[in-house]
Amino acid sequence: MPAAEAPHVEEARLDIEAIYSLHGSTIAGWVSSLGGPAVDVEDMVQEVFVAVQEQLPRFEGRARLKTWLYRITANVVSNRRRRRWFAREGRVELDQLAASAPSADETVAAAERRRKVYAVLDRMKERSRAVLVLFEIEERSGEEVAELLDVKLETLWVWLHRARAEFLQHLRRLGWEAPLRSEGSGRPR
């Protein structure tokens, strides 16, 4: 293959062990951010590495290794979320209740905020969700997110603008006005 067609051919020579050590924690972070609080991170990371191991011989270095790994992770998380839809794993979380216990602390409040963010993200389109997770939760730069999603920076800003609008629209629609959700932590301002 000509070098021009495969600019990241050096990365293609990496083996699974190198990916564990160089990108393992990044992949675990993506799984956790993309999946949200209700996912079994360990189980999903294992699924990602199984897919990476299967597909690594076919990685030709046309894209950055990180972009390729992100794509696999996003697919695994997306598939698992679809499957989880049937099982409803952790559908109704009780962190809110725990927060009302006498010994509630800031950790629980942060967990509650996280639950709320993902309650909205779970209602969003896959692409918008990915953009918000990478930009707003992982606090990556626009350039980094554009590279991971394999799009131009200008396109990324458009996607981010739409994703934010979608998030706010869902927030407005939810309003946290449902009787059960308005109790305890109160309506967010």
Residue 61: CB minimum distance to other proteins, A: 22
Round to whole Å and give the CA distance between 105 and 95: 11
Give residue 184's region: left, alpha or beta (phi > 0; psi -120 to 50).
left
Closer CB to other proteins, 5 or 187, in the complex: 187
Out of 73, 96, 128, 185, name the contact with other proteins by CB under 8 A.
96
Round to whole Å and give the CA distance between 68 and 78: 15
Q: Does position 11 bind other proteins by CB under 8 A?
A: no
Size of the site for other proteins (CB under 8 A): 73
Token readout for 173 is 């629609």
User: Which residue has 């099982």 as its token pair?
Assistant: 87
Residues 140-179 binding other proteins (CB under 8 A) are 140-144, 157, 160, 164, 167-168, 171-172, 174, 178-179
Q: Tell me the Cα Rg of the chain.
A: 19
Residue 146 buriedness (CB in 10 A; 0-12 / 13-18 / 19+)? buried
Out of 6, 9, 14, 38, name the contact with other proteins by CB under 8 A.
38
Out of 75, 110, 152, 154, name the contact with other proteins by CB under 8 A.
110
Residues 42-71 binding other proteins (CB under 8 A) are 42, 45-46, 49-50, 53
Out of 69, 117, 131, 149, name the contact with other proteins by CB under 8 A.
117
Round to whole Å and give the CA distance between 172 and 155: 26
Q: Does position 24 bind other proteins by CB under 8 A?
A: yes
Q: Does position 73 bind other proteins by CB under 8 A?
A: no
